[in-house]
A and B are shown apart, each in its own frame.
Chain A
């Protein structure tokens, strides 16, 4: 364990991926072993010191920003311990890039993980983790079959599928323990053929997406939009690409439709410029010859991560989202688009579907809304700022307006912690939140682990 208190080190952690919430920890602990984590938590529990756990630091609502207390950086626990070909036992501070790099010489790949590649395994399992192949494989959290967890009181425990504590920790938003190791499902590494299909109506594209997912027709699929003018359905095939009866438009027809919408509306000409700029920026990223051989994307994770960082990266990362049932997918998209237009000239939607595995306890109070369907849907609404910046209050009102749509349609959110915490009770209800808070209280008597992120700490309560 290495403790640093110098100004520069603390400054490194003053904000997270969102760059909207700021706070300085008093000290930073670089954990190298689970025992380091246990020792920190025992001391913190004894002396009532808040501990903010941090992996990739890519939260957007300040969830991994510590105002005072100890910042526990777990990225130093980053080894692949063993791999039996079906699962890999990994230290939870590994980023998914490191997991991919460690598995590749064995001809293997992880099953499902966030596209940014820089989240750590532990942080991902704590919130869910959505990939373009989640329609088939589910969340990253659903790939875990065994965990090593340090409890908030500093005990190191091993839990397996079916264990109640494992169900609490997965999707637990770091409230119930620190994941230090995980056994995750792995699969054979295979290059992917990527195709994209264009639409000019988001509803039609979503209908095609749902149809493909219900047929389990493709390995990977997602929708990415430029405003609501151009909607791209992106499909990934690990087998020979198939033809499907899709309702998409040809590229020329898409261009003609957009042109006709813009031509007689001079105030929208700038939108055409935006679309053109983005098209020339994004498509080469998808088809970057560095990663394509014989028409197949060799490293889909790298390609998609580059797309993500070019598309979403910026001085502010504002990504309110809605986790919604299939019945409300289109309504959520259309109403969210209307909100986006009220707040920003340019925006993008990223829409995915996620397979769920029955009604596991882990899904309660998570980004997987309760439904009898085999899949749930997620949409992220992101302004594309193009160099502009707005007051923090503007971003917050935008996020609130998106989340209000979620309240009206029912469902959940992926990012409900940190500054979005006021929505937790409104969405999940007092009974469920109080029940989970009581579990937290029992496991974490001094309320020191990631305090205030999801539940009010005792004094605030």
Chain B
């Protein structure tokens, strides 16, 4: 724990502003500030289990923290600790990212939204990127999130799901789309859901792309006054069903509260499914908007 800098947390509460766990519950204890204060008070992982599992790893807290506390790393470390404490036998080998494929679709697209695959391939073809070889197994990102494995990195061409991008050194499909906006039919008004983890965790690389989209089309977005991305919590382990699940319909409603746009676009597969299921508005994956 000594290299985890929870002791640097000054308790300002900036992290709470965009914390999905806080938005849903109103409990400080489930936020980065709450966890850090509990750790500063000497509590160990077993005393803050609820807080450790409430985090969706959206990265808002890391991006906004004025003390540069590494909140996501702290949560992942604590999850690994809890997993180690709970394990009674040998841990099964975790899935790993497949090296060298041209297109990483990810489990969500492969299993829950295969209808998107033709338009993804068509987009890549138009921009001259290959999509001949694709992944066929889990990249392991969910296992890494759940504390069952450490993160791995493999090289690939293009990754279609921001969740998988954490396991790959590759280009992101959504970012490529932002660089080729002329290929899409983007008639305002629309709401664009930017992939929150990428915007928050790699702000310098991804935020400008979505900011440009917003300026160009004056679209509503899940970007707040801090220029950080709010999340639906879909695409995290808390997006799955079960006792740790977040209330995704409520999160979708919060995000759309002030938007009258009838059409929702996104380049995040899990969020695409969330909006499609719960928004009651037309929802399209970005490649479905190809001219």
The chain A residues found within 8 Å of chain B, CB to CB, are 2, 4, 6-9, 11-17, 19, 30, 32, 56-58, 73, 75-76, 95, 97-98, 100-101, 104-105, 116, 118, 290-291, 299, 301-302, 305-306, 309-310, 313-315, 317
Contact = CB atoms under 8 A, between A and B. Distances in A.
Nearest to A106: B258
Interface of B: 8, 10-14, 16-17, 26-29, 33-34, 37-38, 41, 43, 47-48, 50-51, 66-67, 207, 224-227, 258
A327 B90 CA distance: 76
| Minimum-distance CB pairs A-B, first 3 | A309-B66, A11-B41, A76-B26
Q: Most A CB atoms within 10 A — which of B8, B34, B41, B225?
A: B225
Given A8-B50, A19-B11, 20 more contacts: A4-B29, A7-B38, A7-B43, A8-B48, A8-B51, A9-B34, A12-B38, A13-B37, A14-B41, A56-B13, A73-B26, A75-B28, A76-B26, A97-B225, A116-B12, A309-B10, A309-B12, A313-B12, A313-B66, A315-B10
A441 to B, nearest CB: 32
A7 B42 CA distance: 11
26 contacts: A4-B27, A4-B29, A6-B29, A8-B29, A8-B34, A8-B38, A11-B38, A11-B41, A12-B28, A12-B34, A13-B28, A14-B37, A14-B41, A17-B10, A19-B10, A30-B27, A32-B26, A57-B11, A75-B28, A76-B26, A95-B17, A116-B12, A118-B16, A118-B17, A290-B207, A302-B226
B108 to A, nearest CB: 30
Contact of A317 (B10, B27, B37, B48): B10
Nearest to A301: B225
A118 B225 CA distance: 13
B73 to A, nearest CB: 20
B74 to A, nearest CB: 14
Interface centre among A9, A11, A56, A317 (most CB of B within 10 A): A11
B204 to A, nearest CB: 10
Centre residue among A7, A12, A100 by max chain B CB count within 10 A: A12
A71 to B, nearest CB: 10
B54 to A, nearest CB: 11
A316 to B, nearest CB: 9
A397 B38 CA distance: 29
B11 A11 contact: no
Given A7-B43, A8-B47, A290-B227, A313 B17 contact: no
Given A14-B37, A17-B12, A95-B17, A8 B225 contact: no
Contacts of A16: 11
A8 B14 CA distance: 20
B189 to A, nearest CB: 13
Contacts of A105: 258
A7 B47 CA distance: 7
A20 to B, nearest CB: 12
Nearest to B23: A78
Given A8-B51, A14-B41, A73-B28, A313 B33 contact: no
A76 B25 CA distance: 9
A73 B26 CA distance: 9
Contacts of B17: 95, 97-98, 118
A332 to B, nearest CB: 28
Contact of B225 (A73, A100, A315): A100
Contacts of B10: 17, 19, 309, 313-315, 317
Contacts of B207: 290
Contact of B14 (A9, A14, A30, A309): A309
A6 B48 CA distance: 9
Contact of A299 (B14, B27, B225, B258): B225
Nearest to A30: B26
Given A97-B225, A100-B225, A299-B225, A9 B12 contact: no
B67 A313 contact: yes
Given A8-B48, A19-B10, A101 B67 contact: no
A244 to B, nearest CB: 30
A121 to B, nearest CB: 15
Given A57-B13, A101-B224, A75 B48 contact: no
A440 B66 CA distance: 39
Nearest to B49: A8
Contacts of A104: 225
A309 B14 CA distance: 9
B9 to A, nearest CB: 9
A118 B31 CA distance: 15
Contacts of B12: 17, 58, 116, 118, 309, 313
Contacts of B37: 11-15
Nearest to B17: A97
A310 B11 contact: no
Contacts of A76: 26
Contact of A11 (B16, B26, B43, B227): B43
Contacts of A100: 225
Contact of A118 (B8, B13, B50, B258): B13
Contacts of B48: 8
Contacts of A313: 10, 12, 66-67
Contacts of A309: 10, 12, 14, 66
A2 B29 CA distance: 13
B14 A302 contact: no
Contacts of A4: 27, 29
A212 to B, nearest CB: 28
Contacts of A306: 66
Nearest to A310: B66
A56 B13 CA distance: 8
Contacts of A299: 225
A302 B66 CA distance: 13
